[in-house]
Amino acid sequence: MYKIIDARGRSCPEPVVMTKQAIENFVEEGLQVLVDSMVAVENIRRFVLNQGLHVDIEESGDGYALLIKK
């Protein structure tokens, strides 16, 4: 089960900061970060990859879900 971080409606850098805090308390199953802007997707993706983690991005009707795993 993914831990869910809902960063929809928040402007950068807040979604990245929320993701960083969640990664510090990383759960083995992974994280799911919900955002509603492509800018947030790209910033979080870049941050996660720099941390050596894997990220999959899924687009949905109301935004994006970034699935982060070790």
pLDDT in tens, 47-61: 999 999 999 999 988
DSSP track, 29-68? T-EEEEES-HHHHHHHHHHHHHTT-EEEEEEETTEEEEEE
CATH number of 3-69: 3.30.110.40
What is the tens place of the pLDDT at every residue in 29-45?
799 999 999 999 999 99
Which one of 6, 12, 26, 65 is the catalytic residue? 12
Strands 31-35 and 3-6: parallel
Is the pTM above the cut of 0.95? no
What is the tens place of the pLDDT at every residue in 17-33?
999 999 988 767 799 99
Q: What confidence score (pLDDT) does residue 62 get?
A: 86
Is 2 among the catalytic positions? no
Where do the structural domains in the chain lie, given as residue ranges? 3-69
